Structure 1
Amino acid sequence: MDPRETLEKYYQYANAGQWMDWCDLFAENMVMDEQLAGHIEGLATLREGMKGGLGGYTEFQNKPKTMFVSGNEGAVVSHITGKTHLGEEIQCGVMNYFRFDEEGKIVYLANFHDSVPFKPLFDPNNKAAQ
């Protein structure tokens, strides 16, 4: 798979809630710097973290607006919409940076966005965060 196809599948699987298929897009030695989940190393760690999906969401969509690919690097500007278990709506613009191996698997991902809209998911006083 080439990097552009990988990116298209990344958003397709995420929006369908197909988290194990989504994990298959990453290389075994992957590294992710996820603004909310933190630093993640290794596909086994990522798979374990994604077993329960995105927890806290009753709805989740991450729609790409602009996609760039050059060699083994890519970037996507997207928009997340979601709803928590308490019905709180989340809207947020996102910028993801990707690096790929020779097989088109993701070896590095960093994302950047406003974290304030996600606060209800991480507030210990909020039942949706539990």
Structure 2
Amino acid sequence: MDARQILEKYYEYANAGDWDRWCDLFADDQVMDEQLAGHIEGLEVLRSMMKGMGTMYRVFRNEPVHFLVDGEKAAAVSHLSAVSPTGETIEAEVMNFFRIADGKITYMANYHDTVPFQVLSQG
């Protein structure tokens, strides 16, 4: 898969709640700087974290708005809509940066407004 196809699958799998296949898009030695979860190194650590994703949200949609691809670097602008298990809604604009090598995501960082996610810590 090329970088654009990987981005398309990233959002397709996330929106389907298919976190195993979503994790398969990442390299074994991946590094992620996730704005809420922090610095994550290694695919197995990421897989372990994502096992709880299905219970964290009643609804989770991260719809891509725009992709920018430049060789092995890519960025995606998206809109996230989610509903917590207790019914609080989350709406946030998101920007993700990716480095992709040999058909796998080796690095990802995401940036978004953290205020909408505060409902999770209050619930």
Partner of 2:22: 22
Give the Cα–Cα distance (whole angstroms) in 2 for the partners of residues 39 and 98 of structure 1: 15
Q: Give the letter for the 1:83 counterpart.
A: V
Partner of 1:83: 83
**C-alpha deviations, 1:62-99, integer Å up to 9, x for none?**
00000011100000000000111111111000000000
Give the Cα–Cα distance (whole angstroms) in 1 for the partners of residues 99 and 62 of structure 2: 19
Moved over 4 A (4+): none
Q: Give the letter for the 2:111 counterpart.
A: F
Q: Identical aligned pairs, as a percentage?
A: 55
Q: Number of residues paired by the alignment? A: 123
Give the Cα–Cα distance (whole angstroms) in 2 for the partners of residues 42 and 122 of structure 1: 26
SS at match of 1:9: helix
Give the unaligned 5+ runs of structure 1.
Answer: none
Q: Give the RMSD, CA atoms, in angstroms.
A: 0.9
| TM norm structure 2 | 0.96
SS at match of 1:74: strand
Higher percent of residues as helix? 2
Q: How far did residue 52 of structure 1 move?
A: 2.3
Q: How far did residue 122 of structure 1 move?
A: 2.4
Partner of 2:109: 110
Give the Cα–Cα distance (whole angstroms) in 2 for the partners of residues 111 and 100 of structure 1: 15
